[in-house]
């Protein structure tokens, strides 16, 4: 049996992607995605935020097509990171590394 690290998210960008270029001249896009779940009889909701990172051609696509509020479908992998903060404490975080993405710009509804 083969186990894989695979995640699919459907949500909205919380801010415009931050685009940078690495030392190796690789384009990188970093942004946050909010997913909302509805539950219960009264339709209560909970929102989860994810940090998302993409590289190369996917980052270029995101730069051109995605902005704050854009609905996205993301296929990727989870990556755990650890680092030591300024106070010397060990910290951990998790990112979604994008393998494929679909962007649907937000449509303004007529009032």
The one-character DSSP state at 109 is P
**Model pLDDT for residues 13-64, shown as the tens digit of each residue:** 999 999 999 999 999 999 999 999 988 878 889 999 999 999 999 999 999 9
Kindly state whether residue 86 falls inside one of the protein's structural domains.
yes
User: Are the beta carbons of 35 and 47 closer than 8 angstroms?
Assistant: yes
Q: What is the pLDDT of residue 42?
A: 81
Domain coverage including residue 51: 7-104
Residue 17 to residues 21, 92, 99, Cα–Cα distance (Å): 13, 22, 16
Q: What is the pLDDT of residue 107?
A: 63
* pLDDT tier for residue 73 given thresholds of 50, 70 and 90: very high
Q: What is the CATH number of the domain that holds 94?
A: 2.40.50.140
């Amino acid at each position: 049996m083969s186990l894989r690290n695979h995640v699919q998210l459907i949500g909205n960008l919380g801010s415009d992607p931050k685009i940078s270029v690495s030392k190796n001249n690789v384009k990188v896009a970093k942004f946050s995605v909010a997913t909302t779940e509805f539950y219960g009889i009264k339709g209560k909701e909970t929102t989860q935020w994810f940090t998302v990172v993409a590289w190369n051609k996917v980052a270029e696509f995101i730069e051109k097509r995605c902005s704050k509020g854009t609905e996205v479908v993301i296929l990727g992998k989870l990556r755990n990171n650890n680092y030591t903060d300024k106070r010397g404490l060990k910290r951990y975080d998790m990112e979604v590394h994008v393998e494929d993405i679909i962007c649907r710009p937000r449509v303004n509804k007529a009032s």
